[in-house]
Amino acid sequence: MSFWFWHGLRKGIQTTRYPRRMEVALGVSPGRPINTRFATPEEAQLAAEICPTDAIVAHGKSTFVNHGKCVHCQLCLRSLRSPMDWETGYEWTHLPANQRESFPLPTAFSKSMHIMVVDAGDCGACLHEVKQLNNPLYNMHRLGFFMTATPRSADLLLVVGPVSESMRGPLLKTWEAMPTSRKVIAVGSCAISGGVFGKSFMCAGGVGSVLPVDFEVPGNPPPPLAILHGLLVVAGRKSVKIPEPISEGRP
């Protein structure tokens, strides 16, 4: 059985250099649509109309994307004569809408953070991407991030899914059992806005309507590096990008 040892050694280090360097391997991120300026207002209007979740708002010739609502159906990329611009990065963590600032955990936690993950009705994709962080290619342990099994020792509550009615209770109980210095991060469009499921008798339509949320990682699902960026933001080792505001009255 010692061959496993040699097998492992022979494979060498395959872990990403992120956050020290940006990861550029193909396929680490599906990218996402970004605010676009079209040649005519009609084109902008068409882009807004094609989006099934109203994530695109048109104003004049410009369109603004509400990433918390985007479900990555790619219609605005493939089914428009003049498609939306598309970015390829993954540092997407932002503040919840209507929230001006959120504070990261105190610096004492920045090199060792324990994370409690709760699946509150997600489709499996976001949860799966969170799991990938334990994959040797991402290996979040090297950054001092650990998944924990008990809320008592957790610093961060990571929630995926739109909060199904049956998970509302368990989610709240988990949150209440955590020390009050806790932070909450909502991962995925469903956790931010309800995504395709929206608000219904069985769905709270986002973590924000159940708990106070500190940071949000948009994406459907956000790729592992986007989630890692979110964790680094909570640990105070990366800063959030202040997004361009999506307001109707923008010039």
Partner 1 sequence: MTTHSSPMVRGNIAGLADLRGSIVERFGTQVSQFRADGNFILTLSLTELNALPALSRFFFWEHSCLFGGIIAEEHPRNWQIHYTFLLLGAGWINVELSMPLEATILPSIVAEVHAADWHEREVEDLFGIHFENHPRLGDFVLHDQIWREGIDPMRKSFAARRPQLERKVDLEWQPLLIVGDPGSFAMPIGPVYEGGIGESLHFLLETVGEDVIRAAPRLFYNYRAVEKIAEGRSILDALLLAERFAATSAFAHSFAFCLAAERIAGVDVPPRAVALRVLLAELERLRHHAGAIAAICESTALAVSAAQASIIEEQLLRASCAFADHRYLFGLNTPGGLNRDFTSEQCETLLLAVDKAEKDLRVLEKRLRFSSSFLDRLEDVGVVTRENARDLNLVGPIGRASAQSCDLRKACPYSGYGRHGFEVPYETEGDGYARLRVLFAEAVQSTRLIHQAIDKLEEGPVRVSCEVSRPGFALGWAEAPRGAALHWLRVDEKGMVERYRAITPSFNNWLGFHVAAEDFAFQDFPIILATFGLSGTECDR
Does position 234 bind partner 1 by CB under 8 A?
no
Binding mask 133-172 for ligand SF4 (x = CB under 6 A): ----------------------------------------
Does position 51 bind ligand SF4 by CB under 6 A?
yes
Phi-psi region of 125 (alpha: psi -120 to 50; beta: other; left: phi over 0): alpha
Does position 93 bind ligand SF4 by CB under 6 A?
no
The residue among 165 and 244 lying less far from partner 1, judged by its C-beta, is 165
Out of 72, 94, 183, 229, the only residue in the binding site for ligand SF4 (CB under 6 A) is: 72
In the chain, the amino acid numbered 22 is M
Q: Are 116 and 157 in contact (CB under 8 A)?
A: yes
The residue among 69 and 114 lying less far from ligand SF4, judged by its C-beta, is 69
Does position 75 bind partner 1 by CB under 8 A?
yes
Rounded to whole angstroms, the Cα distance separating 179 from 149 reads: 14
* Binding range to ligand SF4, per CB under 6 A, among 63-71, 162-170, 172-180, 241-249: 63-71
In order, the DSSP letters of 61-104 are TEEEE-TTT-----HHHHSSSSPPEEE------BPPTT------
Out of 16, 29, 36, 53, the only residue in the binding site for ligand SF4 (CB under 6 A) is: 53
By rule CB under 8 A, what count of residues binds partner 1? Answer: 72
Q: Which residues pair with 90 in a beta bridge?
A: none
The residue among 151 and 230 lying less far from partner 1, judged by its C-beta, is 151
Rounded to whole angstroms, the Cα distance separating 180 from 141 reads: 24
Q: Which residues, 12 to 31, sit near partner 1 by CB under 8 A?
A: 14, 25-31
Q: Which residues pair with 65 in a beta bridge?
A: 56
Pairing of strands 62-65, 85-87: unpaired
Instruction: Please give the residue ranges that form the binding site for ligand SF4 (CB under 6 A).
Output: 33, 50-51, 53, 55-56, 65, 70-76
